[in-house]
């Protein structure tokens, strides 16, 4: 149905309590990218909030195919949102649960080449979110406030630090290049396990780019040669200023360009593979 006609009841627990989870799945050439991985993360988020998955992976794949076919653009992104549904307002789960499922697909705008070339500005802030950042929860108020800090400073992302250690961005994962080595914070309860994060680490491993997954200190972030942000929407993007200071020489670095090229090639081959191996 047209987006503006879609409605949810005001007592929906997603609206009243932010009691739900979501996914964002990029679609290239009308094919969902890393579909299995997104559905696996969705299942983990649902398990974490004790909500039964309303569909099997095959059913989800069918729904996405319908949605993508009915929307414009070769490249789109699917937004998927599941809440614990409408119920009398009470924090505790209702006895009878009728989850609300919402899906939409919107044209995907990739980063314009001029932004890719200059990189983007970021600011830092204390990570004041809860301790289950691994759940892709719809209750995003802390992320909203943290990303707005970046926008208020004319920047694109807020890089989050907890107790002097890098966690992630307000809406992205963050990588640091130090002495020619790509450093990534480990996946734990303090960060969202990004699908793009996994792609970057896989590409680094497969192409002999030195990589370490370990705690990254604030001083390593501030003295980095390169900083990258990654997300399904932004792919891999260089952060070239942090708190108004240049990162390295203030331009996207050598390893960034290498990773950008690998990522674009990977996307093209992944699309060819997904034609051959549909979810069944
Ligand atoms: N961390 C946070 C907090 C996010 O909101 C996102 C997605 N916007 C990511 C990381 C990146 O995840 P993905 O690569 O799966 O988009």
Minimal-distance CA residue to ligand 1 atom 5: 171
Average pLDDT over residues 255-264: 98
Q: Which helix (H) or strand (E) holds 275?
A: helix 254-276
Can you give the pLDDT at residue 276?
62
Average pLDDT over residues 182-194: 98
Does the pTM surpass 0.85? The reply is yes
Can you give the pLDDT at residue 154?
98
Can you give the pLDDT at residue 280?
62
Query: What are the structural domains, with CATH classification, of the chain?
Result: 3-107 (3.30.470.10), 113-268 (3.20.10.10)
Q: Which helix (H) or strand (E) holds 142?
A: helix 141-152
For 75, the token pair is 């490249």
Hunting for tokens 């960034």 — which residue is that? 256
Can you give the pLDDT at residue 273?
81
Ligand 1: residue of 143, 145, 194 to mutate (most ligand atoms within 8 A of CB) is: 194
Can you give the pLDDT at residue 231?
98
- Residue 78 pLDDT exceeds 90: yes
CB atoms within 10 A of CB 208: 7
Average pLDDT over residues 51-80: 97
233 Cα nearest atom in ligand 1:
16
CA distance 209 to 115: 24
> Which listed residue (136, 178, 187, 254) is catalytic?
136
Q: Please report how the helices 35-48 and 57-69 are oriented relative to each other, as an axis angle in degrees rounded to 10.
A: 120
Average pLDDT over residues 161-187: 98
Tell me the residue length of the chain: 280
CA distance 182 to 195: 17
Ligand 1: residue of 189, 231, 235 to mutate (most ligand atoms within 8 A of CB) is: 231
Average pLDDT over residues 68-79: 96
Average pLDDT over residues 113-137: 98
Helices assigned H by DSSP within 161-228: 195-206, 218-222
CA distance 128 to 222: 20
Average pLDDT over residues 191-214: 98
Average pLDDT over residues 250-271: 96
CB 251, CB 119: distance < 8 Å: yes
Can you give the pLDDT at residue 224?
98
Average pLDDT over residues 192-213: 98
Tell me, rounded to whole angstroms, the distance of Cα 97 from its chain centroid: 28
Of the chain, the percentage scoring pLDDT greater than 90 comes to 96
The pLDDT mean for the chain works out to 97
What is the CA(97)–ligand 1 centre distance, in A?
28
CA distance 24 to 86: 23
Can you give the pLDDT at residue 274?
77
Tell me, yes or no, if 136 is annotated catalytic. yes
- pLDDT per residue as tens digits for the range 215-236: 999 999 999 999 999 999 999 9
Tell me, rounded to whole angstroms, the distance of Cα 43 from its chain centroid: 16
Average pLDDT over residues 52-57: 98
For 155, the token pair is 């920047």
Judged by DSSP in three states, 122 sits in: strand
Can you give the pLDDT at residue 275?
67
- Residue 72 pLDDT exceeds 90: yes
């Amino acid at each position: 149905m047209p987006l503006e006609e879609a409605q949810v009841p005001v007592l929906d627990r997603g609206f009243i309590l932010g009691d739900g989870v979501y996914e964002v799945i990029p679609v290239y050439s009308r094919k969902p990218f890393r579909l299995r991985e997104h559905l696996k993360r969705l299942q983990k988020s649902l398990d974490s909030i004790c909500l039964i998955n309303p569909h099997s992976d095959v059913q989800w794949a069918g729904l996405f195919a319908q949605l993508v076919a009915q929307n414009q653009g070769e490249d789109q992104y699917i937004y998927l949102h599941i809440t614990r549904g409408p119920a009398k307002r009470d924090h505790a789960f209702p006895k009878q649960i009728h989850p609300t499922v919402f899906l939409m697909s919107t044209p995907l705008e990739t980063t314009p080449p001029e932004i890719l070339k200059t990189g983007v500005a970021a600011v830092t802030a204390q990570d004041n979110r809860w301790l289950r950042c691994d759940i892709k929860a719809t209750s995003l108020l802390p992320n909203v406030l943290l990303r707005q800090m970046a926008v208020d400073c004319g920047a694109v992302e807020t890089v989050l630090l907890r107790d002097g250690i890098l966690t992630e961005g307000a809406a992205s994962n963050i990588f640091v290049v130090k002495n020619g080595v790509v450093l990534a914070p480990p996946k734990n309860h303090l960060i969202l396990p990004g699908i793009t994060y996994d792609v970057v680490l896989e590409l680094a491993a497969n192409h002999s780019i030195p990589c370490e997954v370990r705690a990254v200190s604030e001083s390593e972030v501030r003295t980095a040669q390169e900083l990258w942000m990654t997300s399904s929407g932004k792919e891999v993007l260089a952060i070239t200023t942090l708190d108004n200071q240049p990162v390295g020489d203030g331009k996207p670095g050598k390893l960034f360009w290498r990773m950008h090229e690998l990522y674009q090639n990977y996307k093209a081959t992944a699309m060819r593979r997904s034609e051959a191996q549909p979810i069944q």
